[in-house]
Chains A and B, each alone.
Chain A
């Protein structure tokens, strides 16, 4: 009888365990989907590149962490500057947006001093139809057309319209090429 009891006792214990396993598998699968999607995005970006932007997974081969570069567009204060960004993709990407930061110090109305960006498509307007390339293109255009209605950097928003020359100076002062490694 005691043997039976043991068996019965062990059964409830094993149940949660077996439930946990599919859960783990599911998250792993999500992860796989994300990396697969990212791999395809990368491939697409390489076969049909957009001018002035590039992105690539980090050197450690982690596909969920990318670095990107935007060349400052001509006719903007950022012309000629290389701006670095980092992308951190959640494991359920593309259903939630990546976390994007400027790693290069930048003086811009919609970017704060720690590089955080105020851009609707990276927040509530995100849809899975966007991808890394579209995000970069949006950011590139943001450089030339800041949304001064909701600035993170009020001074910059003010100067953008008032004193482009000073703005440009501030941009150049703030800018610093970062060299990894």
Chain B
């Protein structure tokens, strides 16, 4: 944009300079010189003197023009000027004394000059100030002056002719009269002086009036001088004001005011000119009549010259006042009406909403338009008559038209992005606007990509039509009125391409919004596609877009999901815009760089690829809602709200899908890892290269992740489903040949393509995204982790996974994704094995009647995960026999992401089942051993209370914890003979009982507390919980405890919780997240504990063997060298750790700050 403006403004400056120079014939001065009077008049001896003093005599428009002919009268009478007055005459006579002929000459001179003298004195001196306030009055006086003159003239006609002939023939008749003067020259200077003295102040006064009007006459009390000082500024202001649509109310009256100024100026000038020409004609007529040397002067050509000069004079002085400013305002207004620009809201699409149609442009034959046209014609002709249509006017007009074009493009097309309808676009004709507005219907195109570069969009067509039918027409008309060079066809083309350039600039500005609106803004893309034809514009586009991207997207406020979604839109948009992808390539780097910094971007992409059909549908629904809401909502809020809705829906679905209507309990647990045969070393599993996100599958993180997962990049899955086959075909067919010979829409590579540029075959969103996310091993690792998680949780079918897997295999190769193959096979194998084992164990396919099974249960669950499910029945009545169903999933340890084993004691019945399962497995696979990962399972728990039964799906830790309440409960209730005292346990007791990490116990208790199964009753020993046997108890206690409880909740949003409650809970959890984190910081995670342990052994070994005592720095250095995988502590942490050990008495500090083991 800047480039265009610059270019046009420099052009304009140069042009103005040229005009200026032509007007001033090279003499550029700032004073209101009267150089125009330099008419060539050979043989007139006085010319030099006129010039000589005239050159410096133009007194800046203030009316104090000094002229050799006037000087005497000015000095003696300030009230009369501009003509030879009787008072002035004696002075002439003074030096004419003693020369009869000279006297005769002088008398004749006096006679003639009196006759043609300009009439300012006849109306009496009018103070300039009066003229300012009432220009109309003064006009009349000026216009009336010639009348009065004429009356006198009739009487003196004879005499005048005589005198004139005397003067004209002075050389022959009065040879003695040496003081001879040129009557024409005198008259010209008279005119000039009169113009400067009387008309210029009027013009200036007029513009002052306009300026004052523009500022609402706020400066009434101020002096004239002051106002003049401000004049230029004011007129600029008022012009600007006239150009803004926003000040419509004021703009109207402003236009009127400026119109008045212009009209009064025109009248003034017309009057003055009439006067001047009358005098001149009189002189010329007389001269021609009395001339004895016919043909000496060509009167008509002299008249023309005079006219030209006086016009130059006028144009010159008008430019100096604000008249041209007023003319500009008036022109702007009229042209605006004629071109239909007036009334278009000027603003960006974002303000008006992207879907507003363009305001209707008044038709060409609209009465207003016609009226404006007539008015303009009149005005321009009048201006032309008074000489105000010089080069300066042309420049002014060009400026106005330039603004018109900008305003029209902006006003009519900003935010009009609808796709064109191919057939409709052609009909732009005489009734252009009608066709144009129908083209603007928001009908979406068929979505097919118009790849033909020549295809033009509706906007372009209507714009071209507008330029041709309205814009150029107006230009031609105006130029013909002022006799300027008419517009050629080339000029029209130039205009059209200029207009398209403006449109391109507009679209480039809007591009980010267009991208967000994909695919609804295809029309705008077509505009852009057809207009970004130059390298400069392409660069402008990428530069602008990159900037917008950084400002609007790549900041911490937008989620990775949002960024990726936008990225997908960008890919599609730019592909539609530019098949070569060069533009995309230019804007991508910053985006990719930013995405790589987001650690979760790979996960979002993978999760998106793996989104299920249900999720896609849900997201589509949400998107429908989004679309409806979009008008009211800023684009920024869109994803967030969408995610909330989506979450709700999906939760509802998730709870309806588990089929087990009759199943009393169900699910669960953990996955034994089979050891591969060759591996017999006793090393603990070396950490697999899993992403950081994966480490704690058991923890809070996973739950958070699951909660968030519902807002996925489902677009990716959709793309994968839609186009997989298509793309595959394209990929196989096109890989080895560079050109598609059948492509009729082929265009050469863009000029800004790089040297190694290779034309991409398709938009390939997924491929682009994956390659954007950096290293392939990172992607594969993340993919493995996500796949593992999904396989463990929803194993019904792997269709989606397999499809994504195949896609990735094509990209990364089989070998890289072998792990995933194994994982999927594991799960499939597990199912077979699972049913086999159960059959073997039970002697039948139905596990229901296992003898000796205690009141524990696992239900059938075709979900196949291995594990035990405790069912807890807290009331004794609930101890009916129930069957437990137990499923396991068997994973090949080497191929799955590392999963930490969490130690805790399962409920006895489950342990029993595990053992049986193990036996069954080992019977089938003799060389292998199962290694249970107890914390990974899922459980369905049915709880029976005195007043209710609760069925909950939960993880195994939670199930184990609640089971602990049962077993205790049963014993106590037996003892208590049905007293049913609710079971009460402290976290610390549970810790001993279950050998489970107390944090996990606390988390599980909180989980049950939220389900109103447990209630927290004390904070001693990390918290005490009691079973809520009757809900009524809970209600009473709850109110007191709620606040405390909620504050205690660790951040574990949404893993349970029915629909409505869920949301509140999540919010509470979010609020509690911070304290929870701090707590976690104090209590060390298992991992951290283990790390400290290992490091401590390092230090012990070091101080035992390497050196008896060492300074901290050396310890740190050696740790850095020796710890495999890197020493992760900072010096401060190490210092603190050593300090702790010193406190414990395991270390001592000896001389030199060295540490030494305390010898026991």
Contact surface of A with B, Cβ cutoff 8 Å? 39-40, 42-49, 54-59, 61, 63, 66-69, 84, 179-181
Contacts and interface: CB of A to CB of B under 8 A. Distances in A.
B586 interface: no
A55 B1108 CA distance: 13
5 closest pairs, A vs B, by CB? A67-B1105, A56-B1105, A56-B1101, A59-B1107, A43-B1124
A56 B683 contact: no
A56 B1104 contact: yes
B465 to A, nearest CB: 76
Given A43-B1123, A48-B684, A179 B1108 contact: yes
B1098 interface: yes
Nearest to A43: B1124
B1105 A181 contact: no
Contact of B1118 (A54, A55, A61, A84): A61
Contact of B1094 (A47, A54, A67, A69): A47
Nearest to A61: B1121
A67 B1106 CA distance: 6
Contact of B1117 (A39, A55, A61): A61
B1097 interface: yes
Contacts of A54: 1100-1101, 1104-1105
Majority SS of interface residues in chain B?
helix
Contacts of B682: 48
A45 B682 CA distance: 12
Contacts of A47: 684, 1094, 1097
Given A47-B684, A179-B1108, A180-B1107, A55 B1123 contact: no
B1109 interface: yes
B1149 interface: no
Given A40-B1124, A59-B1110, A61-B1117, A46 B683 contact: no
Nearest to B683: A44
A55 B1105 CA distance: 6
Contacts of A181: 1107-1109
Interface string B1122-1134: 1110000000000
A46 B1108 contact: no
Interface residues of B, number: 23
B1086 interface: no
B1111 to A, nearest CB: 11
Contacts of B1102: 56, 59
B1114 interface: yes
19 contacts: A40-B1124, A43-B1122, A43-B1124, A44-B683, A45-B1101, A46-B1097, A48-B682, A48-B683, A48-B684, A54-B1101, A55-B1101, A55-B1105, A56-B1102, A56-B1105, A57-B1106, A58-B1106, A61-B1117, A61-B1118, A67-B1105
Contacts of B1105: 54-56, 66-69, 84
Contacts of A45: 1097, 1101
Given A46-B1094, A49-B1097, A57 B1109 contact: no
Contacts of A46: 1094, 1097-1098, 1101
A173 B711 CA distance: 77
A68 B1101 CA distance: 8
B680 to A, nearest CB: 11
B1108 A180 contact: yes
A58 B1110 CA distance: 12
Contacts of B1104: 54, 56, 69
Interface in B1080-1114: 1094, 1097-1098, 1100-1102, 1104-1110, 1114
Contacts of B1100: 54
Interface in B332-349: none
A119 B684 CA distance: 29
A177 B991 CA distance: 45
Nearest to A58: B1106
A56 B1123 contact: no
Contacts of A56: 1098, 1101-1102, 1104-1106
Contacts of A69: 1104-1105
Contacts of B1121: 61, 63
Nearest to A47: B1094
A51 to B, nearest CB: 12
Contacts of A55: 1101, 1105
B1097 A59 contact: no
A42 B1107 contact: no
A39 B1125 CA distance: 10
Contact of B1122 (A42, A44, A84): A42
A149 B214 CA distance: 122
Interface in B92-114: none
B1107 A39 contact: no
Contacts of A39: 1122, 1124
Contacts of B1117: 61
A56 B682 CA distance: 21
A67 B1102 CA distance: 9
A82 to B, nearest CB: 8
Interface in B404-450: none
Contacts of B1098: 46, 56
Interface string B893-922: 000000000000000000000000000000
A66 B682 CA distance: 24
Contacts of B1114: 59
Given A69-B1104, A181-B1108, A59 B1094 contact: no
Residue from A45, A59, A67 having most chain B Cβ neighbours under 10 A: A59
A3 to B, nearest CB: 40
Given A46-B1094, A46-B1098, A49-B1097, A59 B1123 contact: no
Contacts of B1106: 56-59, 67
B1091 to A, nearest CB: 10
Contacts of B1109: 181
Contacts of A57: 1106, 1118, 1122
A66 B1107 CA distance: 11
Contacts of B1101: 42, 45-46, 54-56
A40 B1123 CA distance: 9
Contacts of B684: 47-48
A158 to B, nearest CB: 33
A180 B1094 CA distance: 25
Contacts of B1107: 59, 180-181
B922 to A, nearest CB: 26
Residue from A45, A49, A56, A179 having most chain B Cβ neighbours under 10 A: A56
A61 B1118 CA distance: 6
Contacts of A68: 1105
Nearest to A82: B1104
Interface in B822-845: none
B1155 to A, nearest CB: 13
Nearest to A68: B1105
A181 B1123 CA distance: 24
Given A46-B1098, A61-B1118, 6 more contacts: A46-B1094, A56-B1101, A56-B1102, A57-B1106, A59-B1118, A61-B1121
A141 to B, nearest CB: 18
Nearest to B1098: A46
Nearest to A41: B1124
A112 to B, nearest CB: 22
A44 B682 CA distance: 10
A43 B1098 CA distance: 8
A57 B1106 CA distance: 6
B99 to A, nearest CB: 114
Nearest to B1121: A61
Contacts of A61: 1117-1118, 1121
Contacts of A84: 1105
B649 to A, nearest CB: 47
B1148 to A, nearest CB: 15
A84 B1104 CA distance: 9
B685 to A, nearest CB: 11
A49 to B, nearest CB: 6
A47 B1098 CA distance: 9
